[in-house]
Amino acid sequence: MPDYIDVVGLRVASELHQFVADEALPGSGVDQAAFWAGAAEIINELTPRNRELLARRDELQRAVDDHHRRAPGRPERGDYAGFLTSIGYLVDEPAPFTIGTDGVDDELATLAGPQLVVPLLNARYAVNAANARWGSLYDALYGSDVIDEAGGRERGGGYNPVRGAAVIARVREILDRSFPLAGGSHADATRYAVDADGLVVTVDGAGVRLADPTQFVGFRGAGGESGAAGESGAAGAGGEPAAVLLTRHGLHVEIQVDRSHPVGAGDRAGVSDVVVEAALTTIMDLEDSVAAVDAADKVLGYRNWLQLMRRRLTAEVDKGGRSFTRTLAADREYTTTGGGTVTLPGRSVLLIRQVGLLMTTDAVLDGDGRPVPEGILDALVTGLGSVHDLRGDTAGGNSRTGSAYVVKPKLHGPDEVAFTVELMARVERLLQLPPATIKLGIMDEERRTSVNLRRCVYEARDRVVFINTGFLDRTGDEIHTSMLAGPMVRKAAMRDETWIRAYEDNNVDVGLALGFPGRAQIGKGMWAAPDNLADMTAQKIGHPLAGASCAWVPSPTAAALHALHYHEVSVADRQRELARRRPVDRLELLAVPLAESADGWSPEEIAAEVDNNVQGVLGYVVRWVELGIGCSKVPDLAGTPLMEDRATCRISSQHVANWLRHGVVTREQVEESLRRMAALVDAQNTGEPGYRPMAPAFEELAFAAARALLFEGVDQPNGYTEPLLHEHRRAQKKRDQEKKEMVRS
């Protein structure tokens, strides 16, 4: 337990109290006594309601369970909808309305592009993600599997000129598609220059213009200047700039020219790189991708958020034997042909994802000595951090419109959205912010939110800033909600089920009908295979085609590549087309994904499904509990690295729990799989610093946590993994601390 300081009826962990007093409050304009008095009032008044909402979740789940006990199997949708309405699970839709959110930055309101999600406790990841607003297309293609290795030559062992040439050729093709010339090809360019009329590209000895001259925005530097961000200069008539800025569908691309650069020296036009505007927005995550279980963990996340808002977060990097400090990127300045200046943001617009309603934290104890709701504490302390971007010397580094952006996960239905809106309003008053300064991103990832999405948006109509499908958590909730109806389809078959198509389409339909374009984002979920970017470039274009103005990517490299999809698709045009289609019947969202007959699966198919789920749970949980890593690349059974977080763990554990509940698999089969898969996971983690093998003793806390998730999954609240993960991680930290103390003594 941490040391505590008594403050107006609360007991605040000393490290949190010190952080607030010494770091977060100075320069905020908020008085320390007023902050803690207001925090105590909010905690004392809203905590009982938080508990009531959680109790309502349990009440509804019991009613649904009882229904499926009485009538197991696939329910008829009309009757099922009537039952859900009778218990208050399904509510009436509101009268037609449009959202009234204003003061939203263009990156969320009008532009379309990639969105990163990054664990906030890792400063290096956070800085990299914030800087991923701009990314080298040459680096992204060279370092990924998008470019096949010409001639069968393997990557590695230094620069591969064959691969490099293939990258350059691919980029020229991209330039031809996005920024075609009036004649000829970028592949044949020998010079990029700027004159009084704009861009001139020399092709076959002749100067040609862009087919659409309005795509030229400006330039940087002149002659052989390096063109570092922030430089500007006038090019003479026909002069060769250091960088040329172009735009398509609101996104920018910078062609960098440097004939002294190793790449530029070998390029006929002197092009050293092509940099794309990529991650327009980034979610700094305090939830699914982190393992934050105590005051020390929470303060680390709060400090990183504060430093981001003050534009002071740095990270020490050791790369290739070279150590340096990475800082947040500066804005980028360009000169127009008329001599004016264009300034573009150098960083993503940042959102903060707080935790939901379920978990509590002992970073603060209430008057009865009970841990307070973690989501309420997140709202208070990250809100205080956001103040530094809203007023004072560092204002405007993140939001140029004076807004703070919060993503709220795992909300179940409109009452919980309304509670979140009230919490935000209370925080605004405490921090002396204008009403609706704090904007709300609603994760459409729980079944009760999906089927009541219009009513959920209505409750946040003046501050909603996105609705985003989280298909991973949504699948976990789908399994748990209908746990007693029968055995679920195999996990890979879930994407072909009626409910998931309806769910993805409904999120877009609702956003378009309620006036999101021009005011808020409509989002899609994560690409979960971070090393399989060739597949991503082939498939993820489906997200802008589906009408999404943002979609999640797992890395800056993926952001740079996914940005190209928004060059190919005008999301604004696509949304206008989709607005004319027939909206989804929300009863389709109630199609329970039950298997037609579990008898149709062979023993080998059942064993393979169980092994896949068990290995995924073990691979994720062992890093979470042992190493405190909340999100990582976990190899699957075939060795393919997949991004795993609590949402993927929720699916796998709930799927096994469902098959156990309905006798598709026995407890003994799962126990046997656990032991085999533990040995496999140990082998996959060979060489991982600090890793403790689970096999053959099977006595490590990580193994116990994974086992509990599988065998106690039916009883976990809404199927969430957090309670068991937190319990075992805290025990592991205590055990590690005791060992350190023993060594010292």
Measured between alpha carbons, how far is 540 from 527 in angstroms, rounded to an integer?
Answer: 8
Question: Token pair for residue 623?
Answer: 């890093």
| Catalytic-labelled residue, pool 11, 353, 519, 623 | 353
552 forms beta bridges with 115
Question: Token pair for residue 234?
Answer: 């006038």
CA dist 367 → 7, 17, 252, 285 (Å)? 10, 16, 53, 29
| Catalytic-labelled residue, pool 611, 645, 646, 692 | 645
Question: Token pair for residue 25?
Answer: 């409050």
Cβ proximity of 301 and 290 under 8 Å:
yes
Sole residue written with tokens 């978990």:
359
Known active-site residue 353: yes
Q: Which residues contact 58 (CB under 8 A, 6 or more apart)?
A: 717
578 forms beta bridges with none
Count of residues making up the chain: 745
Measured between alpha carbons, how far is 391 from 433 in angstroms, rounded to an integer?
Answer: 10
Measured between alpha carbons, how far is 136 from 134 in angstroms, rounded to an integer?
Answer: 7
Give burial (CB, 10 Å; 0-12/13-18/19+) of 621. Answer: buried
Contacts 24+ apart (CB under 8 A), 703-706: 703/618, 703/622, 703/674, 703/678, 704/728, 705/621, 705/624, 705/625, 706/614, 706/617, 706/618, 706/621, 706/622, 706/674
- DSSP H or E stretch at residue 388: helix 374-390
CA 220 to chain centre: 33
Phi, psi of 268, rounded to the nearest 5 degrees: -60, -30
Measured between alpha carbons, how far is 703 from 618 in angstroms, rounded to an integer?
Answer: 7
State the CB neighbour count (10 A cutoff) for residue 107: 26
Cβ proximity of 489 and 593 under 8 Å:
yes
Q: Are strands 216-220 and 243-248 parallel, antiparallel or unpaired?
A: antiparallel
Q: Which bin fits 88, alpha (ψ -120 to 50), beta or left (φ > 0)?
A: left
Cβ proximity of 134 and 329 under 8 Å:
yes
Q: What does the DSSP assignment read for 597-652?
A: -GGGS-HHHHHHHHHHHHHHHHHHHHHHHHH--SSEEEE-TTS-EEEE-HHHHHHH
Alpha-carbon radius of gyration of the chain? 27
Phi, psi of 113, rounded to the nearest 5 degrees: 180, 180
Known active-site residue 444: no
Cβ proximity of 406 and 354 under 8 Å:
yes
Question: Token pair for residue 652?
Answer: 């796998």
Give burial (CB, 10 Å; 0-12/13-18/19+) of 690. Answer: exposed
Measured between alpha carbons, how far is 387 from 404 in angstroms, rounded to an integer?
Answer: 8
542 three-state secondary structure: helix
Give the residue numbers annotated as catalytic, written as ranges. Answer: 353, 645
